[in-house]
Structure 1
Amino acid sequence: MSVIAIVGAGSLMGRAIARRFAAGGFDVALIARDPDALKAVADDIQGVRVGIFPADITDRQALSRALARAETELGPIEVLEFSPTPRRADLAVSPFTGAAETTVETLAPHVELHLYGSVAAVQQVLPGMIERGRGTVLLTAGAVSSRMVVPAITNVSIAVSALRAYALNLNAGLAGTGVHAAHVSIAANIGQGRPGSEPDVIAEEYWKLHVDRDQADFYYEDLADAPVVISDRYTSD
């Protein structure tokens, strides 16, 4: 059976993506820091094998070990979805900064999370995907990674823009290998009650990206949504 690994699996998009791929016959590996939160997500997924593999995404060795364990216990990872969100406690230590206030020091933690974390995750599973001749890599960020400019969160914007560049170059570089990579940028107030912003609706687009393999730079926008609340986009409790 195929396996999806969701890195940064949370209660909104992580849960919804897991359920959608489980409905398509995928076993599910959930990776994030909090084992109790992972168990709550896992308990909501039925009909397939679900494994929880706690790891801090900014600890690259721990992340690699978690993905390796997932493959040992569940099988080869066919789909890697990467969508970390810092918790409010993290932002107390590494807060958002405006353009003029952004320094190497304020940028570094967000690059560590979004860019270095994604590269570490991809490098753990990519050799196997290439060897098998199939695989999908889906790297997720908010709208500031592509079309939206929000100077108040410049440090995050730089980090997730680098994530997007990595995804696009990865997809181009993997042409002919059977592995498809895509960047997903979400412009929506996820889970705030509007139909187009519900996690299950957005998760369907992830399934299409995996099945159709025809887009490398996907921008999801709920046109009926209220103005996007950036602080809610990039934090989780």
Structure 2
Amino acid sequence: MKTLAIVGAGPGLGLSLAKTFGQHDFRVALIARNQEKLDTYMQQLREMHVEAAGFSADVLHTAQLEAALARVKETFGPVDVLEYSPTPSITDVASVLDVAPENAQFQFDYIVRGALAGVRAVLPDMLAKGDGGLIFTMGGASITPTPMMGNVGIAMAGLRNYVSNLHEVLKPKGIYAGTMSVMGWFKNTDETPARIAASIYEMYEQREQGEHVFEV
């Protein structure tokens, strides 16, 4: 049985990913800041007979994320697939004319630095095994100019570039790296998160393109 680690697990896409991969015989490790919410997600997954565990960590604190992924390995063994999709709070978003070094750095730390820490934590085991998946889900601002998401777009575009390079380097080594850019807004309560999760599982299974776009 393989292990999926979701960094930034929430009630929408994160939980849908856990259900989708769980239905394909994955154990699921959920990583987010709020342990109480994680416990709620775990209970839902266990009712579906999906083996799951929650690990609290803040992606803004590299040591916390590294420690959480180390606990995942102790609990389930090496991570087979890492999915990274923490969503920035709307209060931390700055439009393009309001972008400043400080708020741009915040989004870089949240979106890129956290992703780098996650990759460094799980990639050595994947390289040793010659198999694995690194998936990064982000918004459409990673591709399309979105002035209202000025500081977020800078960070997402940087992450997209990093993953594109990972895809080229890791593909010959048996490891898939890819991005899923979600174009548009959706509610956690509708069917969209489940559809996105199904598309992410499909891209992991096919392992062909390094970049995918989902139109809401």
TM-score scaled by structure 1? 0.86
> Which residue in 2 is equivalent to 1:70?
72
CA contact (8 A) 2:42 2:53 kept: yes
Higher share of residues assigned helix: 2
1:201-212 aligned within 5 A: 201-212=195-206
Quick check: 34-43 or 13-22, which moved more?
34-43
> Which residue in 2 is equivalent to 1:134?
131
The unaligned stretches of length 5 or more in structure 1 are: 223-237
Name which of 162, 172, 182 aligns with 1:186.
Answer: 182
> Which residue in 2 is equivalent to 1:56?
58
Q: List structure 1 runs of 4+ shifted beyond 3 angstroms.
A: 192-195
Compute the displacement of 1:194 (Å).
Answer: 6.4
Q: Distance in 1 between matches of 2:165 and 2:63?
A: 24
Q: Secondary structure at the match of 2:98?
A: coil
> Which residue in 2 is equivalent to 1:87?
89
User: How many residues end up aligned between the 2 structures?
Assistant: 214
TM-score scaled by structure 2? 0.95
Compute the displacement of 1:188 (Å).
Answer: 3.3
CA contact (8 A) 1:97 1:106 kept: yes
Q: Secondary structure at the match of 2:186?
A: coil
Compute the displacement of 1:98 (Å).
Answer: 2.4
Aligned CA RMSD, in angstroms, stands at 1.4
Q: Distance in 1 between matches of 2:111 and 2:75?
A: 26
**Which AA in structure 2 matches 1:105?**
E
Q: How big is each residue's C-alpha offset from its partner over 1:21-43, in whole Å with a ceiling of 9 and x where there is no partner?
A: 00000000000000011111111
> Which residue in 1 is equivalent to 2:111?
114
Q: Distance in 2 between matches of 1:103 and 1:200?
A: 36
CA contact (8 A) 1:49 1:74 kept: no
Q: Secondary structure at the match of 2:73?
A: helix
> Which residue in 1 is equivalent to 2:93?
96
CA contact (8 A) 1:78 1:136 kept: yes
The unaligned stretches of length 5 or more in structure 2 are: none
Q: Distance in 1 between matches of 2:167 and 2:115?
A: 14
Compute the displacement of 1:153 (Å).
Answer: 1.7
